[in-house]
């Protein structure tokens, strides 16, 4: 079951904040976040395991609400380099060991 | 980290022909995956290729169309057979070193155009 990401696209000015959401209809074991720039391979950002943890990576952090089967990615004080498409990938409880990716959120940061 | 060499990076092929994509990893990995990504779209898993066992295909993908080999822990190939324009896409291999809850690394992708 593909996770649902929102919004589909975000346009920011440098220094602004953004939140990207990822939700699933199935119980999740973990949520993975990746960023892909145009013409490049996806790059790993972070993994959140069940337990409601929150992680950070530079000015990018994420939370995982296991009960709501949701994860959110927070980008604070955005930089031009943050532009790209962000994908969440989910592993479901009791499922096989394969990531199912959402449709992606295209983030554009303008000067 | 893992360094993945994926070849070819791009190709233009005639319909009805086949293309084999190679994925070489700089170290042994347990799990390898093949994805398809239409331009501007998400990554769709084609199959999981674990060494020593048959590849496991996702719904909508069959072995006759996308045969996969995994002869050892550092190498895999995906063949796109009897191609049609609908097969035009980016194909990516991905590897995971540990279990599924560890970082996945992606090859640079193969941009395939079928004419």
Question: The domain that contains A105 carries what CATH number?
Answer: 2.60.40.10
Distance from CA of B42 to the nearest CA of A (A): 5
pLDDT digit string, tens, across residues A89-109: 998 876 677 889 999 999 999
Interface contact B49, partner A, CB < 8 A: no
Per the CB < 8 Å rule, is A44 touching B105? Answer: yes
Q: Which of A25, A88, A28, A74 is nearest to A52 (CA)?
A: A28
CATH node for B4-110:
2.60.40.10
φ/ψ of A36, rounded to 5, equals -130, 125
Q: Quick check: A93 and A69 in contact, CB under 8 A?
A: no
pLDDT digit string, tens, across residues B40-91: 899 999 999 987 778 999 999 999 999 999 999 999 999 999 999 999 999 9
Q: Which of A87, A95, A91 is nearest to A62 (CA)?
A: A87
Residues of chain B contacting A100 with CB distance shorter than 8 Å: 45
Percent of chain B whose pLDDT exceeds 70? 98
Q: What is the pLDDT of residue B101?
A: 73
Distance from CA of B1 to the nearest CA of A (A): 11
Per the CB < 8 Å rule, is A30 touching B101? Answer: yes
pLDDT at B111 over 80: yes
Which residue range forms the structural domain that includes residue A56? 4-110
């Amino acid at each position: 079951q593909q996770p649902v990401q929102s919004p589909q696209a975000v346009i920011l000015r440098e220094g602004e904040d953004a939140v990207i959401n990822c939700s699933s209809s199935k119980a999740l074991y973990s949520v993975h976040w990746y960023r892909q720039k145009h013409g490049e391979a996806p790059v790993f950002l972070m993994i959140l395991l069940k337990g409601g943890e929150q992680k950070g990576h530079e000015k990018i952090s994420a939370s995982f609400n296991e009960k709501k089967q949701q994860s959110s990615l927070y980008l604070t004080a955005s930089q031009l380099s943050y532009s790209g498409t962000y994908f969440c990938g989910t592993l479901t409880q009791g499922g096989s060991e394969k990531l199912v990716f959402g449709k992606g959120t295209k983030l554009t940061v303008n000067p | 980290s893992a360094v993945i060499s994926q070849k070819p990076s791009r190709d233009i092929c005639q319909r009805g022909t086949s293309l084999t994509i190679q994925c070489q990893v700089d170290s042994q990995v347990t799990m390898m995956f093949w994805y398809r990504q239409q331009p501007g779209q998400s990554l769709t898993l084609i199959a999981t290729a674990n060494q020593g066992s048959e590849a496991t295909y996702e719904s909508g993908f069959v072995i006759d169309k996308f045969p996969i080999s995994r002869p050892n822990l550092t190498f895999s190939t995906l063949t796109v057979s009897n191609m049609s324009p609908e097969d035009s896409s980016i194909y990516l291999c991905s590897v995971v070193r540990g279990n599924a809850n560890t970082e996945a690394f992606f090859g640079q992708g193969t941009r395939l155009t079928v004419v």
